């Protein structure tokens, strides 16, 4: 999540806009620092989805789990829309209101919408992976990886990627690791080295592409980590996932903080209005470019945003989510019986018509 916030610090703040001072001397120290700092967003997303796939392939998606996720999304959508509206920072518009009330506005790029749809697909994906042989699973991995990673990296042969289907590919990868343990998957030393190597290669690719951009007149420093299905983004995300999986860290503190990470994303990347207020008007990232305090400003902003958002989400969990889920638990039996009755009647009707 820190990597994702760092990515947003650079790409959502105007620092990478065409007229930004960052591009005026792209090979300068401040520019290269910011470009490397902002290279980890898609890698972080890959890690997040791999973790989901690894655990959920052996678990069940319940209505309670989904409503918990959905309620978190809706809570932050509505609360921040009202905050910006009532403070006068954002003018009222029907489009903005509808967007605030809709948990899913896009299933192409928007992470929240794509993740919610992917989450609903998991029960069906579990049926698939648990009824395949290991060889069939491996072949599916090779096929889907070739389609998404090869064509996603070799830009001369582009593939139009939908993030829901990409998350499904990551689910296939994570579920294979979980369902078919291998000695290689459990090597802490190997994956530690692979993480170090892929992180260095990712950072080096940003510097190399920034240099190449000055030769060809095109700014594309994130070429090899620009999207989740590029080779380096996948290799770095998968290596770090396997490394930390094998470290066997047990920490109540980490678990508490980890429970807020989705909320951290929901807060600081809530909307275009939030991005404008946070990165451009409040922190003024562009204005800090090249200043003596720029590095401290960047690191302090990233850590500070993570900490503040973490504390906000802990308060939401304590005072909003827990009471809501207690209420949900008391109502769910009735809702489930009504839905089951409707489903049975509908199924019977279809059989009669058939």
Rounded Cα–Cα distance for residues 83 and 96 (Å): 13
Q: Is 28 exposed, middle or buried (0-12, 13-18, 19+ CB in 10 A)?
A: middle
Rounded Cα–Cα distance for residues 313 and 311 (Å): 5
The pLDDT, as a whole number, for residue 350 is 66
Q: What is the mean pLDDT of the chain?
A: 93
- pLDDT above 90: residue 341: no
Instruction: Report the b/e string of 305-327 with b at 16+ CB within 10 A.
Output: bbeebbebbeebbeeebeebbee
Q: Beta-carbon neighbour count of residue 6 at 10 Å?
A: 25
Show the tokens assigned to 8: 């947003």
Instruction: Report the b/e string of 215-243 with b at 16+ CB within 10 A.
Output: eeeebebbbbbbbbbbbbbbbbbbbbbbb
pTM: predicted TM-score of the whole model, two decimal places: 0.93
Q: How confident is the model at residue 340 (pLDDT cuts 50, 70, 90)?
A: confident
The pLDDT, as a whole number, for residue 331 is 87
Reported as a single tens digit per residue, the pLDDT across 111-123 is 999 999 999 999 9
User: Are 67 and 328 contacting, i.e. CB atoms less than 8 angstroms apart?
Assistant: yes
The pLDDT, as a whole number, for residue 158 is 65
- pLDDT above 70: residue 89: yes
Compute the Cα dihedral for 23, 27, 31, 36 and give only its sign: positive
Rounded Cα–Cα distance for residues 170 and 47 (Å): 9
Q: How confident is the model at residue 354 (pLDDT cuts 50, 70, 90)?
A: low
Show the tokens assigned to 59: 């678990």
- Cα 171-175-177 angle, rounded to 5 deg: 125
Reported as a single tens digit per residue, the pLDDT across 31-57 is 999 999 999 999 999 999 999 999 999
- Report the range of poorest mean pLDDT among 246-260, 263-277, 330-344: 330-344
Rounded Cα–Cα distance for residues 91 and 53 (Å): 40
User: Are 122 and 75 contacting, i.e. CB atoms less than 8 angstroms apart?
Assistant: no
Rounded Cα–Cα distance for residues 284 and 117 (Å): 34
User: Are 190 and 205 contacting, i.e. CB atoms less than 8 angstroms apart?
Assistant: no
Q: How far is residue 49 CA from its own chain's centroid?
A: 7
Rounded Cα–Cα distance for residues 192 and 241 (Å): 10
């Amino acid at each position: 999540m820190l990597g994702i916030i760092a990515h947003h610090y650079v790409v959502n703040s105007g620092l990478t806009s065409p007229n930004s001072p960052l591009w005026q001397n792209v090979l300068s120290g401040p520019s290269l620092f910011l470009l490397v700092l902002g290279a980890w967003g898609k890698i972080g997303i890959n890690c997040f989805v791999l973790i989901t796939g690894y655990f959920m392939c052996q678990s069940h998606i319940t209505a309670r789990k989904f409503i918990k996720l959905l309620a978190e999304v809706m809570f932050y959508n509505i609360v921040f829309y009202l905050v910006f509206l009532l403070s006068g920072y954002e003018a009222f518009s029907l489009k903005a209101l509808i967007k605030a009330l809709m948990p899913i506005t896009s299933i192409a790029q928007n992470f929240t919408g794509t993740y919610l749809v992917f989450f609903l697909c998991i029960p069906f994906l579990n049926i698939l992976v648990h009824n395949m042989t290991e060889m069939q699973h491996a072949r599916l991995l090779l096929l889907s990886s070739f389609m998404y990673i090869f064509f996603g990296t070799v830009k001369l042969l582009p593939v139009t990627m939908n993030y829901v289907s990409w998350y499904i590919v990551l689910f296939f990868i994570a579920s294979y690791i979980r369902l078919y343990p291998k000695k290689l998957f459990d090597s802490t030393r190997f994956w530690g080295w692979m993480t170090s190597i892929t992180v260095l290669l990712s950072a080096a690719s940003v510097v190399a592409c920034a240099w190449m951009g000055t030769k060809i007149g095109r700014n594309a420093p994130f070429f090899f980590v620009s999207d989740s299905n590029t080779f380096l983004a996948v290799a770095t995300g998968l290596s770090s996932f396997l490394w930390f999986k094998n470290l066997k860290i047990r920490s109540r503190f980490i678990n508490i903080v980890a429970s807020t990470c989705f909320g951290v994303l929901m807060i600081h990347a809530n909307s275009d209005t939030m991005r404008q207020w946070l990165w451009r008007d409040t922190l003024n990232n562009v204005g800090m470019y090249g200043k003596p305090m720029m590095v401290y400003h960047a690191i302090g902003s990233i850590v500070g945003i993570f900490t503040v958002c973490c504390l906000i989400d802990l308060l939401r969990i304590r005072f909003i989510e827990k009471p809501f889920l207690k209420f949900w638990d008391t109502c769910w039996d009735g809702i489930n019986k009504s839905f089951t009755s409707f489903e049975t009647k509908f199924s019977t009707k279809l059989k009669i018509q058939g």
